[in-house]
Amino acid sequence: MMGGRREGPLMRNTSHSVVKSRILMAMAIGISFGCLFAFLYPHGIPSSSAPAFHSRRTQVLSTKCESSERLNELRKEYSAASKENAGLRQQVKELTEKLRLVEQGKDHAQKQVEALGKRHKAGAFGTIKGLRTNPTVIPDESVNPRLAKILENVVVQRELIVALANWNVKDSLEVWFKNIKRVGIPNYLVVALDDKIAEFCESNDVPVYKREADEGIDSIGRTGTNHAVSGLKFRILREFLQLGYSVLLSDVDIVYLQNPFNYLYRDSDVESMTDGHDNMTAYGYDDVFDEPTMGWARYAHTIRLWVYNSGFFYIRPTIPSIELLDRVAGRLAREPKSWDQAVFNEELFFPSHPGYEGLHAARRTMDFYLFMNSKVLFKTVRKDARLRKLKPVIVHVNYHPNKLERMKAAVEFYVNGNQDALKAFPDGSDW
Ligand SMILES: *[C@@H]1O[C@H](CO)[C@@H](O)[C@H](O)[C@H]1NC(C)=O
C-alpha cells in the first residue's frame, strides 16, 4: 500500500469553504478601504507629489508650531494609511486570484477524487506508475433487458466478440463465423440489422441479436451505407458497455485463426489493431519535417502514428470508453460526410487545446503481426520466410476490396497449409 494523506470529499469541501470565507472577508475589508480612500482622494493618493506639497506648506506654517505638529501627525497617518491601502489592494488582488484558482481547481480535483478515491505521495524515482486501467461502470440492465438476457448466455468472463451485419455482407459473415467456430470461440454475437441475416445466423446456429423496430435508432441498419451503419455501431456498442461487458468489436472481413481473448492485455480503455505496417507506423515515431528556409531551425519534429482500425478493437466498459463512443456517434450524426475511422482516431488522440476538451482515455496498440491487417500480410509477411511461419490471431482484409477472395486465401494458407494460396494476389488492389 502506498502512504498518503486521506482526504475525503467532505473534508475538501469544509477546508474550501473556510478558505473561501476568509478570502471573502479580506476582500470586503479591502474594498471598504478602497472606497474610503477613493472618497478622500478622488485624484489618487498623494504619494509622489507629497514631498513638494509638504515643503511648501512647511514654509507657510512654520511659524505656527501647533499646526505644524498636527500636520506632521496627519502626514504620518496619510503615509501609513496609504501604504496600508496599497498593501490591501495587493492583498485583495492576490486573494482574488487565489479564489479563482480554488474555484477552478475544485471542479477538477473534485472529479478526480470521485473517480480515483484517494491521493498518494509520489514515491521514489523509477518506482511510480500512472493509473491506466479505469474502473468499470456498474452494470445497468434497465438499458436493454432483452439484450442483457441474451448476453448472459453468450459472454465468457464478461466479454465477447460483437459484429454488426446486414444481408450485404452475408458471404464474408459466413467465413467469419465458420472460422470462429473452428477455433472454438464461444463468446461471440452477431447484431443483425435485417431479418434475412438474422435468419441466416439462426439457421447456422450463430448467436444473434436482432434489434426490434421500437429499439429505436436503427432504421438506417437495413438500407444503410457502410458509413451510416458505422454511426449506428457506436450507439449499439454503448448498450453492451452499459450492461457492463467488454466488447471486442469486429468487422466481418476478418479471419480468426486463434482465440483473441488469449492475447489481450485489458489494461486500457481501448486496445485496437492498427493500420500500421511496421514498428514505426504501428507504434509511433518522430517524423522530422524539413523547412530549409528556416536555416538553423529547419527541422521540426512531429509525432506520427498510423490510425487505429475502428473495425477491430477491444473496449472496456469504463466512463472514458463510453464517452468515446458518444463523442464519435455525436460527431458522425452532426457531420454526415465524416469517416467513422477518422473521427474515432481524432477523438482518441487529439489533446485538449483552447476551445476543445480532449478525451482522457487510455489506449493500447495491438501487436501488428498477431492482429494482422492485409497490407502486412500481402506486402511483407507472405514474402518473408521467417514471418510466414508466424501464426496470427486474426487477419483483417481491410486494405483490399476483394475481401472474400483474400479471406479464403488466408484460410487456405494458415489453416490448410497451402503455401501457394497467397501467391496469385498483387500487393495492393488492381483498382
Ligand atoms: C520491431 O520491434 C520488435 C520489438 O521491439 C523488435 O524485436 C524487432 O526487431 C523490431 N523490428 C524491426 C524491423 O526493427
Q: What is the DSSP letter of 261?
A: G
| Ligand 1 centroid from CA 306, angstroms | 17
Question: 192 near 208, Cβ under 8 Å?
Answer: yes
| Ligand 1 centroid from CA 321, angstroms | 30
| Ligand 1 centroid from CA 363, angstroms | 20
Q: Find where cell 505521495 sits.
A: 121
| Ligand 1 centroid from CA 414, angstroms | 23
Phi, psi of 256 (to 5 degrees): -90, 125
| Ligand 1 centroid from CA 406, angstroms | 27
CA neighbor of 127 nearest in space, from 248, 2, 295, 12: 2
Say if residue 244's pLDDT is above 90: yes
Say if residue 229's pLDDT is above 70: no
| Ligand 1 centroid from CA 397, angstroms | 23
Question: 338 near 332, Cβ under 8 Å?
Answer: yes
Percent of the chain with pLDDT over 90: 64
| Ligand 1 centroid from CA 308, angstroms | 19
Burial 116-126 (b: 16+ CB within 10 A, else e): eeeeeeeeeee
Question: 198 near 210, Cβ under 8 Å?
Answer: yes
| Ligand 1 centroid from CA 381, angstroms | 14
| Ligand 1 centroid from CA 281, angstroms | 12
| Ligand 1 centroid from CA 253, angstroms | 28
Beta bridge partners of residue 208, listed in sequence order? 190
| Ligand 1 centroid from CA 279, angstroms | 6
| Ligand 1 centroid from CA 378, angstroms | 19
Give the CATH class of 141-274+309-371.
Answer: alpha beta
pTM assigned to the model: 0.73
| Ligand 1 centroid from CA 278, angstroms | 9
Q: At what angle do helices 340-349 and 226-242 cross, to 10 degrees?
A: 50
3-state DSSP assignment of residue 57: helix
| Ligand 1 centroid from CA 277, angstroms | 12
User: Where are the chain's structural domains?
Assistant: 141-274+309-371
Say if residue 19's pLDDT is above 80: no
Q: Which pLDDT belongs to residue 230?
A: 66
Quick: pLDDT tens for 280-315.
999 999 999 999 999 999 999 999 999 999 999 999
| Ligand 1 centroid from CA 384, angstroms | 15
| Ligand 1 centroid from CA 387, angstroms | 12
| Ligand 1 centroid from CA 288, angstroms | 21
Beta bridge partners of residue 338, listed in sequence order? none
DSSP 158-214: TEEEEEEE-GGGHHHHHHHHHHHHHHT---EEEEESSHHHHHHHHHTT--EEE--GG
| Ligand 1 centroid from CA 375, angstroms | 18
Quick: pLDDT tens for 66-90.
567 777 887 787 777 777 777 788 8
| Ligand 1 centroid from CA 368, angstroms | 11
Mean pLDDT of the chain: 84
Give the burial class of 378: count Cβ atoms within 10 A of its Cβ; 0-12 exposed, 13-18 middle, 19 or more buried: buried
Number of other residues whose CB lies within 10 A of the CB of residue 365: 19
| Ligand 1 centroid from CA 127, angstroms | 26
Quick: pLDDT tens for 262-288.
999 999 999 999 999 999 999 999 999
| Ligand 1 centroid from CA 369, angstroms | 11
| 4: alpha, beta or left? (left if phi > 0; alpha if psi -120 to 50) | left
> First CA to last CA across the chain, in angstroms?
59
